[in-house]
């Protein structure tokens, strides 16, 4: 199975958070040397992450996953929900992003982001619609009872349908040669082949229209046509419903990012952001839920933003022999001064010493 999605060459699903982990770890080790003299404050590098991230990714041709993750937890992200969309392996599938959505665009919850198209379903829908239209035209002629004007109009439609079919045949033969030489895609060739089939159906139906137009009105034939039209309408409705299910909408309000490493599109919720902070294990007691945190982004000219610690990692990471712990802090970002991926300096503020803290700190740090 082939797919024209840009994610065809993507491999793996590495989180952007883990890509910068190593960089932050090195920065954290450097920052240990610039701890404030006060026992209760710690200044360390931090990474800004959106509160939630919705992404559309391609697992392999014809298999797509739509996932919503929360970045509240320290040291990683938690899956909130996920949807898997799959197609038959012999189908040609294409993920089409909305052309108005670009990196940095504001996205509202419920907004359409993309549609995952099935070439097989689209061709089938076109053929069913052509068959329905032909039956409707035949029914109209049957009901008219062979009116001369209707007969002339039917013959005109035959001439037009034949001309269009001949043009479609010429284009298909040209495309067949180009396809054999590898100059056009299978998707383009199949589209032209489907168009030729639709034109052929129109010729056949228009010829039938002429015969019907020459006859008197036949109630039995009208009843049969009505039954066939109803059956085709049901199939058309089913295919349209299936297409609607493959329209992907954003479940959150946020900012778009196109072409991220592990996905076609990401939506980052940024009214609230979380700071990912890597602290020395020896300073673990300084980081408790509810403790205040100040943050300023690298190169930021705006005011220092304040928040609080909401989560502390349970696992330690060893960096250059030093045990480190991930901490997550929540920051109100309604003014949109912070963007996901931004780095800066976070200052953890402790209100006062506690027995647990004093027991953790080394004597020269008290």
Cα–Cα dist 332/292, whole Å: 13
Residue 276 pLDDT: 93
How far apart CA 255 and CA 339 sit, in angstroms, is 9
Residue 235 pLDDT: 84
The overall longest dimension of the chain from CA atoms, in Å, is: 108
CB atoms within 10 A of CB 87: 21
Superfamily of domain 6-111+250-365: Efflux pump adaptor protein, beta barrel domain (2.40.30.170)
Give the start-to-end residue ranges of the domains of the chain: 6-111+250-365, 119-245
What pTM, to 2 d.p., does this model score? 0.59
Burial of 237 by CB count in 10 Å (0-12 exposed, 13-18 middle, 19+ buried)? exposed
Please, is 33 exposed, middle or buried when counting C-beta atoms within 10 Å of its C-beta (0-12, 13-18, 19+)?
A: exposed
Confidence of residue 243 (pLDDT cuts 50, 70, 90): low
- Give the separation between CA 68 and CA 81, rounded to whole angstroms: 5
Give the three-state DSSP class for 272.
strand
pLDDT tens, residue by residue, 19-74: 444 444 444 444 443 443 344 578 889 999 999 999 988 877 778 889 999 999 98
Q: What is the DSSP string of 242-263?
A: HHHHTEEE-SS-EEEEES-TT-
User: Distance between CA atoms of 267 and 273, rounded to whole angstroms?
Assistant: 13
At residue 191, the pLDDT reads: 86
Termini Cα distance of the chain: 65
Q: Is the pLDDT of residue 5 over 70?
A: no
Distance CA 311, CA 344 (A): 19
Round the average pLDDT of the chain to a whole number and report it. Answer: 78
> Is residue 100 over pLDDT 70?
yes
pLDDT at 251 over 90: yes
**pLDDT of 128-169, one tens digit each?**
888 889 889 888 877 776 666 677 788 888 899 999 999 989
Sign for the CA dihedral angle at 127, 128, 129, 135 comes to positive
Q: Which helix (H) or strand (E) holds 133?
A: helix 119-144
User: Hey, CA dihedral for 100, 104, 110, 115, is it positive or negative?
Assistant: positive
Angle (CA) 210 215 218, round 5°: 120
Angle at 45 between CA 43 and CA 51, to 5 degrees: 110
**pLDDT tens digit sequence for 213-229:** 776 666 777 888 899 99
Residue 138's H or E segment, with its range, is helix 119-144
Residue 17 predicted with pLDDT over 50: no
Instruction: Dump pLDDT digits (tens) for 328-337.
Output: 999 999 888 8
What are the residues whose beta carbons fall under 8 Å from the beta carbon of 290, sequence distance 6 or more? 308, 309
Residue 92 CA: distances (Å) to CA of 29, 251, 316: 50, 27, 46
Pairing of strands 292-297, 254-258: unpaired
């Amino acid at each position: 199975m082939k797919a024209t999605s840009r994610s065809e060459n993507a491999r793996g699903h590495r989180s952007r958070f883990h890509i910068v982990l190593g960089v932050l770890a090195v920065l954290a080790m450097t920052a240990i040397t610039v701890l404030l003299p006060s026992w209760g404050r710690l200044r360390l590098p931090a990474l800004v992450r959106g509160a939630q991230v919705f992404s559309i990714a391609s697992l392999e041709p014809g298999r797509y996953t739509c996932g919503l993750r929360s970045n509240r937890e320290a040291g990683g992200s938690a899956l909130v929900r996920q949807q898997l969309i799959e197609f038959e392996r012999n189908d040609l599938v294409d993920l089409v992003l909305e052309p108005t959505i670009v990196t940095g665009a504001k996205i509202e919850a419920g907004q359409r982001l993309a549609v995952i198209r099935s070439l097989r379903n689209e061709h089938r829908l076109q053929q069913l619609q052509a068959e329905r239209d032909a039956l409707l035209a035949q029914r109209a002629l049957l009901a008219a009872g062979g009116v001369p004007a209707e007969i002339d109009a039917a013959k005109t439609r035959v001439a037009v349908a034949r001309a269009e079919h001949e043009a479609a045949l010429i284009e298909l033969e040209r495309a067949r040669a180009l396809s054999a030489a590898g100059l056009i895609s299978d998707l383009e060739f199949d589209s032209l082949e489907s168009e030729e089939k639709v034109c052929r159906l129109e010729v056949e139906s228009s010829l039938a229209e002429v015969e019907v137009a020459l006859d008197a009105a036949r109630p039995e034939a009208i009843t049969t046509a009505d039954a066939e039209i109803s059956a085709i309408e049901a199939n058309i409705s089913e295919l349209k419903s299936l297409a609607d299910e493959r329209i992907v909408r954003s479940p959150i309000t946020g900012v778009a990012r196109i072409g991220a490493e592990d996905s076609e599109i990401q939506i980052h919720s940024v009214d609230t952001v979380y700071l990912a902070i890597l602290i020395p294990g020896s300073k673990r007691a300084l980081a408790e839920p509810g403790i205040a945190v100040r943050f300023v982004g690298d190169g930021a000219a705006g005011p220092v933003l304040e928040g609080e610690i909401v989560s502390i990692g349970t696992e330690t990471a060893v960096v250059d022999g030093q045990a480190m712990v991930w901490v997550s802090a929540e920051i109100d970002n309604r003014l949109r001064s912070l963007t996901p991926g931004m780095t800066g300096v976070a200052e953890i503020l402790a209100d006062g010493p506690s027995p647990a803290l004093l027991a953790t700190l080394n004597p020269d740090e008290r």
